């Protein structure tokens, strides 16, 4: 009895990695998703980064190339959309019965939840690298050798930012049984976080009331930390960006874990 209780509460790290690997391989083997990610990245970069190339942007008194400014914001936004939509994998597994098999497996639900979260976060990391790679190819960041170190610093930031966003997606998907409801709710959450994150426009270029609203958006700090890693400048202090990201991620992971524990599959 005690062994069964331990199995149902402890985290099985081998199972976590197996679930994460399944999510990652599922994305990589789906060639249409990979191709669409690249095509969407090219479209976003040409439309937004190219379209805003004539803007004059200054961060903390330092002039910033508008194309690099927008490209770094778009790379951060990839986390938002991919992380939220990652919750749709829950619906897919419910539909095909795989979720039932997972729930009766001799591993805790926390293991299942952390495995899903890690897998979707790794998917997000791959898509962020694709977006940054395209931006570098088009010369939006210049061709400085220091870009290698900047990209390496971006990776843990992207992983941390994705944890909270994936938590949002999993919380929504575990509480709903209707795909259409999921789409409506995630749009209601994603669009304000997207437009009010400062990904496409400068924080100091909007009126004060809008700045206050943007500061209430936790994803604003993820975008800001992305820019600090890639461009070397930011609107907020490093410690503030990091604290908000850690707190937001921890809260959403805990909420997502609780929702996953209460999830019922008919």
Give the residue from 66, 48, 84, 43 showing the smallest Cα distance to 193. 84
What percentage of the chain's residues is helix, strand, coil (to nearest 5)?
75, 0, 20
Q: How confident is the model over 172-184, as a mean pLDDT?
A: 73
| pLDDT surpasses 60 at 7 | no
- Contacts of 128 by beta carbon, 8 Å cutoff, 6+ apart: 75, 78, 79, 154, 158
Q: 142: number of CA atoms within 13 Å, CB side?
A: 11
**Alpha-carbon gap, residue 186 to 146, rounded angstroms:** 37
Q: Is the pLDDT of residue 233 over 60?
A: yes
Q: Give ∠ CA 135-156-123 in degrees, rounded to 5.
A: 70
> What pLDDT is recorded for position 51?
65
pLDDT of residue 2: 41
Closest residue by Cα to residue 199 from 70, 110, 102:
70
Q: What percent of the chain has pLDDT over 90?
A: 11
Q: What is the mean pLDDT of residues 231-251?
A: 91
pLDDT at 93: 73
Band of residue 221 on the pLDDT scale cut at 50, 70, 90: very high
Q: What is the mean pLDDT of residues 191-206?
A: 86
Count how many domains the chain has.
1
> Position of tokens 């949002």?
168
Q: Across the chain, what does the average pLDDT equal?
A: 81
Residue 8 has pLDDT above 60, yes or no: no
Question: What integer pLDDT is reported at residue 264 of this predicted model?
Answer: 66
Token pair for residue 34? 């990979």
Q: Write the pLDDT tens digit of every residue in 10-37.
A: 777 788 888 888 888 877 887 777 787 7
What is d(CA 194, CA 81) in angstroms, rounded to the nearest whole number? 9
User: pLDDT tens for residues 118-133?
Assistant: 888 888 888 888 888 8
User: What pLDDT was estimated at residue 220?
Assistant: 93
Note the pLDDT of residue 46: 77
Q: What would the two tokens of residue 203 be?
A: 């924080």
Rg (CA), the chain: 19
Worst-scoring range by mean pLDDT, 104-113, 120-129, 218-227, 228-237? 104-113
CA–CA separation, 224 and 237 (whole Å): 9
> Which is higher by pLDDT, 111 or 229?
229
Mean local confidence (pLDDT), 103-127: 81
| pLDDT recorded at residue 265 | 63
**Residue keyed to tokens 């669409």:** 36
Q: Which domain holds residue 27?
A: 2-262
pLDDT of amino acid 44: 78
55-87 residue pLDDT tens: 678 887 788 888 888 888 888 888 888 888 777
| CB-based contacts of 50, cutoff 8 Å, min separation 6 | 67
Rounded Cα distance, 207 and 128, in Å: 30
């Amino acid at each position: 009895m005690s062994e069964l209780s331990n199995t149902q509460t402890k985290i099985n790290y081998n199972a976590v990695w197996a679930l994460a690997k399944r999510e990652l391989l599922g994305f990589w083997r789906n060639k249409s998703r990979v191709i669409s990610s690249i095509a969407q990245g090219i479209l976003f970069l040409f439309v937004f980064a190219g379209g805003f190339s004539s803007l004059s942007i200054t961060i903390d008194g330092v002039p910033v190339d508008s194309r690099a400014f927008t490209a770094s914001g778009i790379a951060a936004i990839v986390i938002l959309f991919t992380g939220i939509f990652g919750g749709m994998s829950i619906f897919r597994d419910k539909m095909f019965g795989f979720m039932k098999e997972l729930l009766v497996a001799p591993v805790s639900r926390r293991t299942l939840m952390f495995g899903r979260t890690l897998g979707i976060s790794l998917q997000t990391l791959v898509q962020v690298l694709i977006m940054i790679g395209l931006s570098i190819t088009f010369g939006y960041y210049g061709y400085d050798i220091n870009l290698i170190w900047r990209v390496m610093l971006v990776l843990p930031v992207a992983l941390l930012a994705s944890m909270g966003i994936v938590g949002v997606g999993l919380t929504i998907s575990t509480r709903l049984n209707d795909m259409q409801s999921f789409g409506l709710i995630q749009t209601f959450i994603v669009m304000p976080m997207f437009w009010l994150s400062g990904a496409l426009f400068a924080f100091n270029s909007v009126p004060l009331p809008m700045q206050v609203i943007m500061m209430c958006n936790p994803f604003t700090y993820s975008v800001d930390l992305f820019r600090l890693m890639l461009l070397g400048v930011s609107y907020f202090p490093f410690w503030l960006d990091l604290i908000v990201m850690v707190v937001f991620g921890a809260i959403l992971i805990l909420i997502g874990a609780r929702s996953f524990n209460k999830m019922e599959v008919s």
